């Protein structure tokens, strides 16, 4: 059994049940590349500061590179007795490089080491999520441009309210995910802070150069307080909060796709390749992807609540409770990444039933507000017009007709201001085109919104293709 790096103070071996209980290697082995990259940068800094020799640094770096190859080739041996990825790598380095390997941990602790690894992991994960979200936004904008002529009912309280362009509805999701991108970008700034050199909690007596380490690792900022550096998990909480809000948006989208694909709505047909069948009912085509996404939102919410609870009332600085953060973080990263990727592939394959959408937009008295606006245009006060149209709706319900199906004589029983031109006023297309207010559903406004979004997305895609500005060297 490999020796523990801290066993000098202890007179008894750790009980096997304790080793199994405290081990985190099954979770944090995922950080191996970041741990090795951080160790290489730390090693280079130690040599530059003349804390270790150049020859020692070269031997350490060569050994670390070998360990990385061993892990990636599947030839690395993991052992619960070594607890975590940091101790695994250092123990193996001793086997490869000999006693010189014991110099690598000079001027650092596992406390600042794990903080560094998690920040590097989350920095990369956040960038990938942002890039994927921008790609998802591009899908929505493309769908909006391709379906500009389709009219659908807009809803409030899940009741038909007013007709809108399908493109306008799709662009609402573009806006939601645009805010998600902004949240992740803002979060990224606070993730991208270099904690290494804080040591256990008080800093170090060695003449280290934290700014040089930060430069080697692409960090624009060095953490300001050593105690805060090793005990801070705000950046994970902030990420999980942004991820939870994003998953709310995916859950809302999923709910609509599920509803729209039912026979009761009949608005869309989901692609066969993204649906499943029933083990007993041959006719079934189930929206399992959307249902799972809707369900997985709860997992991410749970990750956030679990970490909030974990961090609540923890005294400064590091506490072993914080080992549990990575399980929650990795889960949220994996869930949201998968949800984004599957929508990027699924959404363009959805088929919209234009006839069903338009038919739904012409029923349910969705032109009632426009009839009130018509009367206002004739000089009637809006509150009186609202009451007048309400009476007309009640009458039409009794007649089992829509407002536009009543004849002129019937409509004039509610107001003599109503003339023949009312019928052209109440068509879905006319109702949509009159909504020219900023952000409205008129085709002119929607086309302008699509054009603006396309220009913004081009800039974003170019930016992310070449990397974040703050990590350019």
Residue 388, domain member (yes or no):
yes
pLDDT given at position 40: 98
Whether pLDDT at 13 is above 90: no
**CATH no. for residue 67?**
1.10.275.10
Say yes or no: 466 and 408 in one domain: no
d(CA 91, CA 297): 39
* Cβ-contact 450, 141 below 8 angstroms: yes
- Rg of the chain over CA atoms, in angstroms? 30
pLDDT given at position 1: 44
Domain boundary among 64, 80, 106: 106
At 390-438, the pLDDT tens digits run 999 999 999 999 999 999 999 999 999 999 999 999 999 999 999 999 9
Say yes or no: 31 and 73 in one domain: yes
Say yes or no: 193 and 71 in one domain: no
Q: What is the mean pLDDT of residues 246-262?
A: 98
Choice among 142-151, 196-205, 275-284, 306-315 with the minimum mean pLDDT: 275-284
Domain boundary among 66, 89, 106: 106
Which residues, including other chains, have CB under 8 Å from residue 104's CB and lie 6 or more apart?
Answer: 39, 42, 43, 60, 90, 93
DSSP string, 258-320: HHHTSTTT--EE--GGG-B--SS-TT--B-HHHHHHHHHHHHHHHHHHHHHHHHTTPPSS--G
pLDDT given at position 124: 97
Which residues, including other chains, have CB under 8 Å from residue 387's CB and lie 6 or more apart?
Answer: none
At 166-224, the pLDDT tens digits run 999 999 999 999 999 999 999 999 999 999 999 999 999 999 999 999 999 999 999 99
pLDDT band at 24 (very low <50, low <70, confident <90, very high): confident
Whether pLDDT at 278 is above 90: no
d(CA 443, CA 447): 6
Q: SS3 of 277, please?
A: coil
Which residues are catalytically annotated?
Answer: 157, 278
**CATH no. for residue 420?**
1.10.40.30
Say yes or no: 28 and 130 in one domain: no
At 125-162, the pLDDT tens digits run 999 999 999 999 999 999 999 999 999 999 999 999 99
Residue 441, domain member (yes or no):
no
**CATH no. for residue 272?**
1.20.200.10
pLDDT given at position 5: 56
Q: SS3 of 443, please?
A: helix
Q: C-alpha angle 318/324/328, rounded to 5°?
A: 130
Whether pLDDT at 286 is above 80: yes
d(CA 41, CA 43): 5
pLDDT given at position 403: 93
Q: What domain range is 46 assigned to?
A: 7-106
Pairing of strands 221-222, 193-194: parallel
Say yes or no: 77 and 152 in one domain: no
Nearest to 106 by CA among 29, 53, 183, 157: 53
Which residues, including other chains, have CB under 8 Å from residue 412's CB and lie 6 or more apart?
Answer: 418
Whether pLDDT at 473 is above 50: no
Say yes or no: 229 and 310 in one domain: yes
Q: C-alpha angle 38/41/45, rounded to 5°?
A: 135
Phi and psi at 286, nearest 5°, equal -95, 140
Q: What is the mean pLDDT of residues 89-117?
A: 96
Rounded percentage of the chain residues whose pLDDT exceeds 90: 89
- Across-strand partners of 163? 153
Task: Give CA separation, 459 vs 347, 379, 446, 453, in Å.
Answer: 23, 48, 20, 10
* Diameter of the chain measured on Cα atoms: 101
pTM over 0.85: yes
Q: What is the mean pLDDT of residues 372-386?
A: 95
């Amino acid at each position: 059994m490999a020796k523990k790096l801290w066993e000098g103070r202890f007179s008894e071996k750790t009980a096997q049940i304790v080793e199994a209980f405290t081990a985190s290697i099954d979770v944090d082995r995922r950080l191996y590349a970041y741990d090795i990259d951080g160790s290489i940068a730390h090693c280079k800094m130690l040599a530059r500061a003349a804390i270790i020799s150049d020859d020692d640094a070269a031997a350490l770096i060569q050994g670390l590179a070998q360990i990385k190859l061993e892990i990636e080739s599947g030839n690395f041996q993991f052992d619960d007795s070594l607890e975590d990825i940091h101790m695994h790598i250092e123990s193996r380095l001793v086997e490869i490089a000999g006693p010189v390997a014991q110099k690598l941990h000079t001027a650092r602790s596992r406390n600042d080491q794990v903080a560094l690894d998690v920040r590097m992991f989350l920095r990369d994960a956040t960038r990938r999520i942002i890039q994927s979200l921008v790609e998802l936004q591009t899908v929505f904008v493309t769908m909006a441009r391709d379906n500009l002529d389709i009219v659908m009912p807009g809803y409030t309280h899940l009741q038909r309210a007013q007709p809108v362009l399908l493109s306008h509805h799709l662009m609402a999701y573009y806006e939601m995910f645009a805010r998600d991108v902004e949240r992740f970008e803002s979060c990224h700034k606070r993730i991208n802070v270099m904690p290494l050199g804080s040591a256990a909690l008080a800093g170090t007596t060695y003449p280290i150069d934290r700014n040089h380490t930060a430069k080697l690792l692409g960090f624009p900022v060095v953490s300001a307080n050593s105690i805060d550096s090793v005990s801070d998990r705000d950046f994970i909480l902030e990420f999980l909060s942004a991820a939870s809000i994003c998953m709310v948006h995916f859950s809302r989208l999923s709910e609509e796709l599920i509803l729209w694909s039912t026979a009761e709505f009949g608005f869309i047909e989901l692609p066969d390749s993204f649906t499943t069948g029933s083990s007993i009912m041959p006719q079934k085509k189930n929206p399992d992807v959307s249902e799972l996404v809707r369900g997985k939102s709860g997992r991410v919410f749970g990750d956030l609540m679990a970490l909030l609870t974990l961090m609540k009332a923890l005294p400064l600085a590091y506490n072993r409770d914080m080992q549990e953060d990575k399980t929650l973080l990795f889960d949220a990263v994996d869930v949201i990444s998968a949800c984004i990727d599957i929508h990027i592939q699924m959404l363009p394959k959805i088929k919209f039933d234009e006839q069903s959408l338009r038919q739904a937009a012409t029923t349910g008295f969705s032109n009632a507000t426009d009839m009130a606006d018509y009367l206002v245009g004739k000089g009637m006060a809006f509150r009186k017009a609202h009451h007048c149209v309400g009476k007309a709706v009640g009458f039409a319900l009794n007649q089992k007709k829509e407002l536009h199906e009543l004849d002129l004589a019937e409509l004039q029983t509610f107001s003599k201001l109503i003339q023949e031109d009312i019928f052209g006023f109440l068509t879905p297309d006319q109702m949509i085109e009159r909504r020219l207010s900023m952000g409205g559903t008129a085709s002119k406004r929607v086309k302008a919104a699509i054009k603006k979004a396309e220009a913004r997305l081009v800039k974003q895609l170019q930016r992310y293709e070449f990397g974040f500005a703050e990590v350019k060297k």
